[in-house]
Amino acid sequence: MNERPVVLVTGAARRLGAAIARHLHARGCDIALHYRSQRDRAAVLVEELNAQRPGSAAAFGADLLDIAAAQSMVDAVGRHFGRLDGLVNNASSFFPTPFADVGEAAWQDLVGSNLKAPLFLSQRAAPLLAASRGAIVNIVDIHADRPMPGYPVYSLAKTGLQGLTRVLAVELAPAVRVNGVAPGAIEWPEDGQFDAGEQERIIRQTLLGRVGAATDIAGAVAFLLLDAPYVTGQILAVDGGRSIHL
């Protein structure tokens, strides 16, 4: 029977999810890496982690908008590792939706990935997490409290995820702790959504005068999963102080 804590990280093939997976692995966790389309990237990361500690990582593919497939993935993780101690709901769609142009497809994508999937993944994982006295960490956003202009559906979805974090803390207590991390400017989107002028404006709003690193979020996630046994129902902002000005 595996005695190391097992954590499922969604959207773990790249960027923030990969940083969270690496950090938790370095802290001694075995990692279940979820991916949707980045199978090759996930395989490379699994190989990297297993080279450090054999048998400590495995990849699981699923489209989280397909709830049956998402929940089957949780079952597969449980069968593979024999336990589950943590769930990090990191996978997220992020794109603008001008209010006048909001359509059902954008709603399904943004609310589906940022709110619906975390709910049903948490529901399926709850018995396994209760058995290990485990924890859930949701990756929220500072714009859950302060909506981002031009991103109404994304902001609404993250507001819902913030609320879900507190709801789950109530529903799953006392066996499972549930918290959230709310990032500020950590890594700029790769598709150029924020031009140089917008990036500079955001940095000026940030008390620490710089963007953060994915490792800043990964450290906060590890703290809430592994080092905070008396913390539940909380949202930790990791934003360099930007939310003070918003």
Share of the chain above pLDDT 70, in %: 99
Res 34: pLDDT = 98
Has residue 57 been placed in a domain? yes
Q: Are 97 and 153 within 8 A, CB to CB?
A: yes
List pLDDT tens digits, range 166-212: 999 999 999 999 999 999 988 777 776 788 888 899 889 899 999 99
Pick the catalytic residue from 35, 151, 154, 230. 154
Q: Work out the average pLDDT over 81-101.
A: 96
pLDDT band at 246 (very low <50, low <70, confident <90, very high): confident
List pLDDT tens digits, range 208-230: 999 999 999 999 999 999 999 99
Res 199: pLDDT = 87
For the question of residue 154 being annotated catalytic, the response is yes
Domain count, the chain: 1
According to DSSP, the residues that pair with 183 across neighbouring strands are 238
Res 224: pLDDT = 98
Tell me the residue range of the domain where 119 lies: 6-244
Has residue 43 been placed in a domain? yes
List pLDDT tens digits, range 37-58: 999 999 999 999 999 999 999 9
The average confidence (pLDDT) of the chain is 95
Has residue 180 been placed in a domain? yes
d(CA 112, CA 180): 18
d(CA 241, CA 76): 40
Q: What tokens does 242 get?
A: 């930007």
Has residue 1 been placed in a domain? no
* Amino acid identity for residue 47 in this structure: E
Q: What is the CATH number of the domain that holds 169?
A: 3.40.50.720
Q: Work out the average pLDDT over 107-128.
A: 98
Q: What is the CB-side half-sphere exposure of residue 56 using CA atoms within 13 A?
A: 20
Res 81: pLDDT = 98
| DSSP state, residue 100 | G
Res 1: pLDDT = 59
* Amino acid identity for residue 63 in this structure: D
Nearest to 179 by CA among 136, 121, 216, 217: 136
